[in-house]
Structure 1
Amino acid sequence: MSTLTVRKLNVDLSKGFERYWLAGDVYRTAFMNALSMSFPLGEQMFIDSVRAVPLETLPDAALRAEVKDFVGQEASHRFVHQQYNNQLARQGYDYTLEPSVKVRVGRIARLPVLDRLAITCALEHYTAMLADFVLRHPGFFDGADPQMRTLWSWHAAEETEHKAVAFDVYQAAGGGYARRALWYLHVSVIFWLDTMRQTHYNLARDGQRFKLANWASAARTWFGRRGLVWNLLKPGLDYLSPRFHPWQHDNRALLGMWLERNDDSFRAIGSTPS
């Protein structure tokens, strides 16, 4: 029996959203938009890497069920963020890194299965850490467009719910510590470099790179009292432990709280067929 639920988000992005939808904060909007731009390609890569392990080779029936729902959740995220990114394109924001990322994803697809899974585990850990931040500090979205706030919170909830699936598949397929740790170090550099570059491009599109207010917002976002650096540093380092497992950081209470308080924001659509 799977512990995951595939949900349809009750958000309609067809009418678009404000250019600086995150309470008028130019930097935070540019940063969140940069993350969204990377998601459709990334989430398809996650789906493909997990599906590269035949379900019948996984000894745990519960894990086999969770793989199916992991695919369903990630497919939903991919779809919604593509709608989001379409609106960004209409606003004149291009995913500048898309050609190089497509080349990189193509290269990853030719790697051995365990390497593909290790890369997916590393990126899933980053999405899980960012998801925990979103659920733990809802004030980050104070004043945001309500639909965008719902979208990001829903994504965070489901990333939390399935944060161990790729990791468990990796271990069940015979993946070891050294491969996992080495790919994590590599992925960490690429992930943050790409995100910062796309954020820079988004700011440059509006001539906002050198405005003092945006530098101040960036400093608060990363190094403020509830900044990302302080929230990501310890769990980021924890991944390098040979004994690490994603549910050692058990934040299911945050997940349950959000699902209970926002049950009108989505509807369950069940499992995804294999």
Structure 2
Amino acid sequence: MEALQIGRAKLTWLNGGVNFLDGGAMFGVVPKALWSKKYPNNDKNQIELRTDPILLQVDGKSYLIDSGMGNGKLSEKQMRNFGVLEESSIDQSLAELGLKTRDIDAMLMTHLHFDHACGLTKPSGNSYESVFENATIYTSDVEWNEMRNPNIRSINTYWKENWQPIEDQVTPFEHEIQIADGLKMIHTGGHSDGHCIIVFEDGDETFIHMADIMPTHGHQNKLWALAYDDYPVTSVHQKEKWMNFGYSKQAWYTFYHDAYYRAIKFDHEGKKIDEVERERYDYK
């Protein structure tokens, strides 16, 4: 597992699963001639995407950024349509670090689409139960409201089995919330109406987790938004704001979906000055 120390914070990427989605959908109106230079695609025009939670350890507390693809949650049709080749193995990843799911103090949920929230619950008999039984689950109140009351579009990604078993653990917030000293979740909207990013500052050290506003290194261009975005103009404006902020701090940008990089550090002009590559292997 790849790890990165940023000030007081240690980040470790867990194995949350992998799927392959259409590259055109992931890059929206951007022509393939442009985006394919930034991120590889296969002969079906699909791109490889991870769904890997980040274990964030700060001041003796253990947090997870998003929850992975989960296990036993998807039908055969969903597995095929979403291009899922591997489900989560969070238990095993945590065990390698001497931890269990009950040791997680809080879940920092950037949003609650199925590929980020399926790992919150697991099948139990004829129902579902919480995976991270002792964790407080943070998400924006806008996201939490839509999760429970999806519209005609979002009903396909906000599922009852991902929220009903954990509703007593959820702490929604309005604009931003401080999780620990220097660690904040901030509501941005854009990808979903309730989408959030995570910002950590410790002296001169900073990381920004842009979640699905910049899901991979290939999405660095401030104007490149996903076809999946509910509010793409908001995504563009929020990306511009937080890329400018991050460049000024020479911040690390961390990724949940990127199959090639775990994190990249940019200079004041947006040029890469450091990186953490993901160890890759072939899927059969």
**Going by fraction, where is helix more abundant, 1 or 2?**
1
- Asked which structure has the greater RCO (Cα within 8 Å, sep 6+), the reply is 1
**Going by fraction, where is strand more abundant, 1 or 2?**
2
Question: TM range, normalised to the smaller chain?
Answer: under 0.3
Query: What TM-score comes out, normalization by structure 1 length?
Result: 0.28
